[in-house]
């Protein structure tokens, strides 16, 4: 089991725990963010070199965007690779800002490997839902970002006794942000089904595999311990992969 790296809690017990524990640097969050920005720069440069003569797409979108026809032709990597592609500077800015804001916190709670698993399961489930229920092409990290939003809400719900009133505030903020962005997603050109799929994938995984902290020890020597074990993480990931994998197979055949 992992010890909690940092807990933003507002009661006396939590303050003691927070002081006693080191801060875990969100290196996976920073790595994904940096890699995604580099890919967008390459997208931008490719548009200048080859233009938009590939069915109106840049070279990265042409070979890696979510495309139903390409997926049915066997290009299964497109269930993941759209998470690294973006259509405009504003598109990548908002997604990377959300990744930085939410991901930094969640990675400190989940640990590096479990956070990376959460991020890409959100991308996978979102792109599967998009594949099932929409046409054309789609790109963007919002599938994974909505998975993080769902994970944040579930995490605080399951850890209310640790975070107290802060948990209720955080849950309310997450729900508000989800509702507002799903409403915005009704606008033309936005892949809202990808958002819904990411939400479902992130929520399912976190419900079974997200960090659940317990305070153990006697004052003043206290620390947080995660009740989740490896089998819980395997269960959560397997449920998402099996459920959305079956939906993908249904959509393909």
The domains located in the chain, with CATH, are 12-252 (1.20.1540.10)
Phi/psi-derived region of residue 11, left when phi > 0, alpha when psi is between -120 and 50, beta in every other case? beta
3-state secondary structure of 22: coil
Pairing of strands 221-226, 66-67: unpaired
Choose among 29, 181, 42, 220: nearest CA to 108: 29
Q: Whole-angstrom Cα distance, residue 191 to residue 199?
A: 13
- Taking 70 as the threshold, does the pLDDT of residue 31 lie above it? yes
Number of H helices, E strands in the chain: 12, 4
- Res 78: pLDDT: 97
- Asked if 133 contacts 185 with a C-beta cutoff of 8 angstroms, the reply is no
Q: Which residues pair with 67 in a beta bridge?
A: 137
- Res 51: pLDDT: 57
Q: Which residues pair with 223 in a beta bridge?
A: 216
- Taking 80 as the threshold, does the pLDDT of residue 7 lie above it? no
The pTM for the full model equals 0.87
DSSP state letter for 129: H
- Res 215: pLDDT: 81
Question: 15: Cβ–Cβ under 8 A, 6 or more apart, which residues?
Answer: 9
pLDDT level of residue 183 (50, 70, 90 thresholds): confident
Q: At CA 60, angle to CA 191 and CA 250, rounded to 5?
A: 50
pLDDT level of residue 128 (50, 70, 90 thresholds): very high
Count Cα atoms within 13 angstroms, Cβ side, for 54.
17
- Res 248: pLDDT: 95
pLDDT tens for each residue of 70-104: 999 999 999 999 999 999 999 999 999 999 999 99
Q: Whole-angstrom Cα distance, residue 213 to residue 163?
A: 10
- Res 19: pLDDT: 34
pLDDT tens for each residue of 205-245: 999 999 998 887 777 767 788 889 999 999 999 999 999 99
pLDDT tens for each residue of 37-61: 999 999 988 877 665 556 778 889 9
- Res 20: pLDDT: 41
What does each C-alpha distance from 73 to 76, 239, 244 come to in angstroms?
Answer: 8, 26, 18
- Taking 50 as the threshold, does the pLDDT of residue 5 lie above it? no
- Taking 90 as the threshold, does the pLDDT of residue 184 lie above it? no
- Res 53: pLDDT: 58
- Res 52: pLDDT: 58
Catalytic residues: 142, 195
Q: Whole-angstrom Cα distance, residue 197 to residue 134?
A: 12
């Amino acid at each position: 089991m992992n010890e909690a790296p940092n807990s933003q809690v507002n009661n006396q017990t939590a303050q003691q725990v927070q002081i006693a524990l080191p801060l875990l640097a969100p290196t996976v969050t920073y790595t994904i963010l940096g890699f995604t920005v580099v890919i967008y720069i390459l997208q931008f440069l490719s548009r200048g070199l080859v233009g938009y003569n590939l069915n109106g797409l840049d070279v990265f979108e042409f070979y890696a965007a979510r495309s139903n026809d390409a997926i049915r032709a066997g290009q299964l990597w497109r269930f993941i690779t759209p998470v690294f592609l973006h259509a405009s500077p504003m598109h990548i800015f908002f997604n990377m800002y959300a990744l930085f804001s939410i991901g930094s916190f969640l990675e400190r709670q989940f640990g590096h490997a479990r956070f990376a698993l959460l991020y890409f399961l959100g991308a996978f489930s979102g792109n599967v839902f998009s594949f099932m229920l929409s046409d054309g092409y789609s790109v963007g990290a919002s599938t994974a970002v909505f998975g993080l939003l769902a994970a944040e809400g579930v995490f605080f719900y399951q850890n209310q006794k640790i975070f107290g009133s802060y948990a209720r505030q955080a849950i309310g903020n997450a729900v508000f942000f989800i509702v507002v962005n799903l409403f915005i997603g009704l606008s033309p050109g936005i892949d809202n089904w990808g958002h819904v799929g990411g939400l479902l994938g992130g929520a399912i995984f976190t419900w079974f595999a997200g960090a659940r902290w317990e305070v153990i020890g006697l004052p003043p020597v206290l620390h947080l311990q995660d009740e989740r074990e490896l089998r819980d993480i395997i269960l959560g990931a397997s449920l998402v992969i099996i459920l959305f994998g079956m939906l993908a197979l249904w959509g393909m055949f």
